[in-house]
Amino acid sequence: MSSSLDKLKPIISLLPEISPPTSFPSVKERIFWTIFALLMFFIMYHIPAIGVDPRVFSTVSFLQLITASKIGTLLTTGIGPIILASIFMQLLVGAKIIQLNLSDPAQRATFHGAQKLLAFILAFFEAFVFSTYLSSAGYVLNIFGPSTFWLVVFQIALGSIILLYLDEILSKYGLGSGISLFIAAGVAFSIVGGILNIFFGYSGIIQILSEGGALVFAKIFESLLPLFATLLILLIVVYFEGIKVEVPISYGFGSSSAIPLKFFYLSNIPVILAVAFLANTQLFAMLLLDQNLCLGGTLNLDVPNKAYACEGGLDLINIIGRAERQGHSARFVDGFFYLISPIHHNPEQSYFAQINSYFTYSSPIFNIPEWVHIIVYLLFLVLLCIVFGFLWVDLTGMGPQDVAKQIDSMGFQIPGYRRDVRILSSVLEKYIPPLILIGSVSVGLLAGFADLLGALGTGTGILLTVSIISNFYQSIERYNILGQSSFLYDFLKKR
């Protein structure tokens, strides 16, 4: 059976690929490649793109945290194109726009090849968008004349492509997912920076103590609230990470055991895809920045605030999403995309002032209350987590039927029942779909509420980092076992 992507095979075959290991890598080898990938990430994270003004490095936005990027460096787009390519391919296959049988190894390989090709294309597209934005803001230097712009585009795209191959190396020779590792590294870096800023920043605890006054302890308490919020979210996530549902199994009529199904069955995957999708709305904001589309009126570009430049009519851009510059990035301040845009604390505002704005602030054009924005954002985030959660299960073979086949192939069965894959599947049906739903809703709500509380590194980042570190620890334990059993390796490698 041919797939609808067969026409791309000649192009896909030209893309470089990391060959799989000929023998099972040892734990030491996996740790080596993991550290190597992490070092490469941090090196590129701090290397500025030639032709970009270094002043652009001063701010870190929500988009940069979630996509493991740093604007102006080789990782200006980070893992954004890789995740976006994964999201697009999942949606196309899930909606049956692309006809693929992912249980067929050949078609699954074609799917991953097409996803890699799309990541290449998106890497250059996003590099072009960011470079255009930096150029319009005056941050692209005229070192080599007009060709400087295209040099910046190439460097930024190359950075994301290198990350793509580092992720491929880690999936075959390292410990787990490179995408997850890079996000965790960027978030951890941000959390450390946030803690240092609380104590030693311009309005930090040291500065508060030096100024003194009657409100010194109240100010210190307010400064520490983001740290308290971070610790609270950490404890909640660690607690949920430890919750498991155990499904009893036995080997023939002999020893019995259990399959541990985690409460976060899909780990951090749903929230990574959902938040990356939402964070990339900032990329769309850059495209809509300073744009106007006046319907039934007159466009007056002499108006200082271009959001109101449409006189006697309706500006369609306002409805889609009015964007404004924020530091070295752009964000939506009104319209549809504003309603689903991430909410995070403004570092220039005090903690209590930020919380108060949730109840008092309204958008400048349509006067949308901030509390409406919060509710819509949380609901949309949870919905995305659910959709991507179930799509991910279908694409990766983690559903009840697939897991049942893997367990049956190893000779296991449900105690008290005859060995039959249908029985295994019916039992797993009672556990896996509810875990996917509840786990996806939980990670979405945890991420959203943690962002509202102003947790350091964003609540989403903390959620991802805790589960990522937990998964890496479990990977080390698992690979120690797998090194002793190729039978177990074949089973868990599919998971």
The answer to whether the beta carbons of residues 20 and 172 sit under 8 Å apart is: yes
What pLDDT is attached to residue 481?
53
Q: Whole-angstrom Cα distance, residue 341 to residue 281?
A: 7
Q: Whole-angstrom Cα distance, residue 4 to residue 98?
A: 6
Q: What are phi and psi of 40, to 5 degrees?
A: -60, -40
Q: What is the pLDDT of residues 72-110, one digit of tens each?
A: 889 988 888 988 888 888 778 776 777 777 667 777 788
CATH architecture of 26-174: Orthogonal Bundle (1.10)
Q: What angle do CA 19, 25, 26 make, to 5 degrees?
A: 165
Q: Consecutive sets of 10 residues in the chain, 495 residues long: mean pLDDT of each?
A: 68 84 81 89 89 71 73 87 84 75 76 89 91 82 85 94 92 81 80 81 80 80 85 84 78 67 80 79 75 72 60 77 74 87 72 86 89 93 90 78 76 70 81 88 86 77 74 67 48 46
What pLDDT is attached to residue 329?
67
Q: Which residues of 158-168 are buried (b: 16+ CB within 10 A; e: fewer)?
A: bbbbbbbbbbb
Q: Whole-angstrom Cα distance, residue 284 to residue 287?
A: 5
Task: Measure Cα distances from 450 to 59, 194, 235, 343 in Å.
Answer: 21, 15, 12, 10
Query: Token pair of 283, please?
Result: 């990329």
Q: What are phi and psi of 353, to 5 degrees?
A: -65, -40
What pLDDT is attached to residue 61?
62
Sequence-distant (6+) residues with CB within 8 A of 156 are 49, 74, 76, 77, 123, 126, 127, 130, 131
* Cα end-to-end span (Å), the chain: 25
What pLDDT is attached to residue 345?
67
Domain boundaries, the chain: 26-174
pTM score of the predicted model: 0.74
The answer to whether the beta carbons of residues 338 and 353 sit under 8 Å apart is: no
What pLDDT is attached to residue 484?
47
What pLDDT is attached to residue 456?
78
What pLDDT is attached to residue 158?
94
The answer to whether the beta carbons of residues 220 and 203 sit under 8 Å apart is: no
